Amino acid sequence: MYTIKPEKLEEILKSFQNRRIIVIGDIMLDEYLWGKVQRISPEAPVPIVEINTTDYRLGGAANAAVNLNALGAEVYLVGVCGKDSQARIVLQQLQRRKMSTEGIFLVPSRPTTLKTRIGSVSQQIVRLDREETSAIDSSVQKEILAYLTKVIPQCEALIIEDYDKGLLCPSLINEILHLAGKYNKMVAVDPKYLNFGAYCNVEIFKPNYRELEMYMGRLFSDNAEFERITADLRQKMNIQQFVVTKGSEGMYLFSEKKLVEHLPSFAREVYDVSGAGDTVISALTLAYLYNRDIETAALIANHSAAVAVAKKGTASVTIEEIRDSFDAPK
């Protein structure tokens, strides 16, 4: 199994500090309503949840930004929210972490994406999504591009967090990739299937296994078919590092250096997988910037995911937690 010497790990983790990263994508607010269930409703065969705890976490692109911030990076988050109470919570949570909100544009005509999870003890009962997924107006796209043009020269990499919520339409994606190319900035993409094929020529591309199947329009019959089709797709899209996460099976790396390499999961306890992909793309990007070694970066990202899924709700990880995960008995 691929490993990292402790002194090398320390060098890489220290390199995270003060790296300047742009995160552009769909910003969400995760609302958690927890309570106790003692009876079934007389109106319908559903549980009555007596809510006693309300918690808010940043989701989507904002969760990736929070993860980067927790690992020591300086983050420029770019996206849209509505002019509503949810947006105020998003801005307050970012400001509390002393993170810039200059790149967040408030659009009165669309709500802030809100995902409400209702649960009892440790069991989620239902999730309610309130969102607008139509493409943003061209005027908002111009504001976003103007902001990106201002900040991209001083940044080292750009992470695109595409959740198919309307921010990243094809025209804006093309402009973003053109801008990154103009300034020779590394691009890492965490895609959903709608714009999957729009991200050709990027350096890191990280779908999960299900998103890959949805884009291909088929279920893979076995691992051999998955590896063959993905390796071919990497070449067709001209992706340097094609990383596929596969839940409890860990992740698969496809590159010119190696056709495919499998890294098993290090998760010892899986409590909640919400936002784990955001954690992976954040740690993967920071570690990759150290020396462009995808195996080392993926190993660190894998340990980061193991930490994240052991937490309740959308969560970030710290340098200390990654270090502890490496030190834990395998």
Tell me how crowded residue 204 is: count the other CB atoms within 10 A of its CB. Answer: 25
User: Which tokens belong to 169?
Assistant: 């339409």
What distances in angstroms separate CA 135 from CA 40, 83, 102, 146, 192, one per listed residue?
A: 41, 17, 21, 18, 15
Within 10 A of 240 (CB to CB), how many other CB atoms are there? 17
Phi then psi for 60, rounded to 5 degrees? Answer: 65, -135
Cα 187 to the center of its chain, rounded Å: 14
Q: Do strands 113-120 and 27-40 pair parallel, antiparallel, or not at all (unpaired)?
A: parallel
User: Which residue do the tokens 């053109």 mark?
Assistant: 178
- Helix H or strand E encompassing 41: none
CB-CB contact of 115 with 129 (8 Å): yes
Stated length of the chain: 330
| Alpha-carbon gap, residue 24 to 26, rounded angstroms | 7
The catalytic residues are 278
CA distance 176 to 244: 23
CA torsion angle 200 203 204 210 (round to 10):
20
